């Protein structure tokens, strides 16, 4: 793992992996959505609005997956002091926040015709909103620390503590009576008919590839920023010595 402690080695990998993930992500996502939107029949109760599922579920999973990635990267940073860990955590925060927001937005649009309301304060919706706020707090904190040049350890602790919300989101519909339905997909079980399930899983794959591409792009940007700053500092020091 520490082989990638050298950013140059990581960049060599990222340089060819990023376009690969990006292009395959776009192709698979667009393909899955076209497949789902054109082939899936109306649901017995929800009609055509069932097709929001093809966006809502992948972005919900990735919204939670983003924070899981932050938590793992934070653990790696705190225990093994891996130099890329805090960069990976910062890179996953913005796409994670975007997906959490998209999950809330599509869920709200879906809730109006099916439930008869845009928003309710039930366990699932509330804990997902908390996740979005945690993301915003994490982004503000980690970028402030990076700007000051201080240690990112506080952000890593925040990333680990915030992870307690992930199992709460997952279990909210089981622990508490909620308006949101219980999970449709559990280990080895599906309550989703195959005509919806296959495009749905393809969309999950496509969105995941896109997520990975964005994380790699942001990691490269952060590394480039750090390099540019180091160069500026060096130049300033040389200029100061020259006086």
**What are the structure tokens assigned to 141, written together?**
């904190």
Provide the terminal-to-terminal Cα distance of the chain, rounded to the nearest Å: 44
> Which is nearer to other proteins, 19 or 41 (by Cβ)?
41
User: Which single residue is written with the structure tokens 């939107």?
Assistant: 37
Positions in 146-165 near other proteins (CB under 8 A)? 160-161, 164
Which of 13-21, 98-106, 117-125, 226-234 is the region at the interface with other proteins (rule: CB under 8 A)?
117-125
Answer yes or no whether residue 41 interacts with other proteins by CB under 8 A. yes
Using the rule CB under 8 A, is 19 a contact of other proteins? no
Which helix (H) or strand (E) covers residue 190, if one does? strand 189-190
Q: Among 78, 129, 139, 201, indicate the residue that binds other proteins (CB under 8 A).
A: 78
Choice from 95, 123, 199, 212 touching other proteins (CB under 8 A): 123
- Exposed / middle / buried, residue 69 (Cβ in 10 Å: 0-12, 13-18, 19+): buried
Quote the CA–CA distance of 125 and 117 in Å, as a whole number. Answer: 12
Length of the chain: 243
Interface with other proteins, residue 118, by CB under 8 A: no
Q: Which stretch binds other proteins (CB under 8 A): 3-11, 14-22, 43-51, 87-95?
A: 43-51
In whole angstroms, the minimum distance from the beta carbon of 98 to other proteins comes to 26
Q: Residue 165 in contact with residue 134, Cβ under 8 Å?
A: yes
Supply the minimum distance, in Å, between the C-beta of residue 231 and other proteins: 29
Of 2, 6, 10, 5, nearest to 215 by C-alpha is: 10
Residues in touch with other proteins (CB under 8 A): 40-46, 50, 53, 75, 78-81, 113-117, 120-123, 160-161, 164, 167-168, 171, 175-179, 181-184, 191-193, 195-196
């Amino acid at each position: 793992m520490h082989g990638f402690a050298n950013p140059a080695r990581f960049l060599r990998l990222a340089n060819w992996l990023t376009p690969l993930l990006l292009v395959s992500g776009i192709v698979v996502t667009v393909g899955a959505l076209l497949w789902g939107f054109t082939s899936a029949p109306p649901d017995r109760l929800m009609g055509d609005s069932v097709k929001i599922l093809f966006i809502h579920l992948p972005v919900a999973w990735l919204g939670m997956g983003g924070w899981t990635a932050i938590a793992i990267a934070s653990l790696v940073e705190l225990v093994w002091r891996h130099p890329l860990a805090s960069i990976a955590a910062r890179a996953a925060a913005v796409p994670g926040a975007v997906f959490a927001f998209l999950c809330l937005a599509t869920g709200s649009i879906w809730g109006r015709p099916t439930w008869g309301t845009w928003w309710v304060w039930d366990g699932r919706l509330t804990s997902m909103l908390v996740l979005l706020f945690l993301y915003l707090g994490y982004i503000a904190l980690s970028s402030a620390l990076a700007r000051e040049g201080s240690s990112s350890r506080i952000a890593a602790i925040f990333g680990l503590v915030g992870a307690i919300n992930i199992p709460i989101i997952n279990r909210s519909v089981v622990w508490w009576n909620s308006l949101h339905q219980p999970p449709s997909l559990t280990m080895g079980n599906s309550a989703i008919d195959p005509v919806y399930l296959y495009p749905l899983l393809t969309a999950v794959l496509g969105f995941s590839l896109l997520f990975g591409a964005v994380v790699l792009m942001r990691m490269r940007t952060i590394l480039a920023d750090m390099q540019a700053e180091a160069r500026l500092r060096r130049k300033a020091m040389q200029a100061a010595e020259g006086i």
